[in-house]
A and B are shown apart, each in its own frame.
Chain A
Amino acid sequence: GESVGLHLPTLSVQEGDNSIINCAYSNSASDYFIWYKQESGKGPQFIIDIRSNMDKRQGQRVTVLLNKTVKHLSLQIAATQPGDSAVYFCAEDLPNFGNEKLTFGTGTRLTIIP
């Protein structure tokens, strides 16, 4: 079936550097994408989202890029901090008349090296 996948399961970044986490999605009908951050023992925390009619959206220290041509999503975190260490999931949402059933990938573990 359709699924969301991630290119790299782990990523280590020096504190203060920028990080990029990538995600490939396979369903071209998906129209809404979300990045979540999950720390150990906690539920996923919303970071940023983007709709399919956009190709870039910025938040505080985070930017999401969407390339619909190659069905690729990325999360850029600027000036990484130790608190950014977590597992990051992208999730896609198929339009289904209000049932926003998210499909998640397996996640990328980001480790910030002090």
Chain B
Amino acid sequence: DTGVSQDPRHKITKRGQNVTFRCDPISEHNRLYWYRQTLGQGPEFLTYFQNEAQLEKSRLLSDRFSAERPKGSFSTLEIQRTEQGDSAMYLCASTSADTQYFGPGTRLTVL
């Protein structure tokens, strides 16, 4: 257990529905990252927060995706109008220096 928690661990939804995931980072970590991982691939960067500020977004993050970290602690990732191609593991990582510590991920299945 790295100290990073994610909820839910699994989510099954129908195409077109909205979903929201939550990440609770290690408490003293000021930087929080979201990654997406598809089967057989390494994680791909989605977005990054320093405290409450979202500083970078990947082009993978379409307009249907939005992430927040309102108080600089936990973060949420919302996907609107889900598509089957959104099926993946969504990973959160946090750090205060260089090493990123990952949570267990949320596995999303879009039917």
Chain A interface (Cβ < 8 Å from any Cβ of B): 4, 32, 34, 36, 41-46, 49, 89, 91, 93, 98-107
Q: Is B99 an interface residue (CB 8 A)?
A: yes
**Size bin of chain B's contact surface:** 20 to 34
Q: Are B45 and A101 in contact (CB under 8 A)?
A: yes
Q: Are A100 and B56 in contact (CB under 8 A)?
A: no
A-B pairs with the 6 shortest C-beta distances?
A104-B42, A43-B102, A44-B102, A43-B104, A43-B105, A101-B45
Q: Is B74 an interface residue (CB 8 A)?
A: no
Main secondary structure of the interface of B (DSSP, over half): strand
- Inter-chain CA distance A43–B29, complex, in Å, is 18
Interface code B28-50, partner A: CB below 8 Å = 1, 0 otherwise?
00010101000011111100101
Q: Is B100 an interface residue (CB 8 A)?
A: yes
Q: Are B95 and A99 in contact (CB under 8 A)?
A: no
| Chain A contacts for B41, CB-based, 8 A | 106-107
Q: How far is the CB of B67 from chain A (nearest CB, A)?
A: 15
| Chain B contacts for A32, CB-based, 8 A | 98
| A93-B98 CB under 8 A given contacts A104-B43, A104-B44, A106-B40 | yes
Instruction: Name B107's closest neighbour in chain A (CB-CB).
Output: A41
Q: Are A42 and B105 in contact (CB under 8 A)?
A: yes
Q: Are A43 and B42 in contact (CB under 8 A)?
A: no
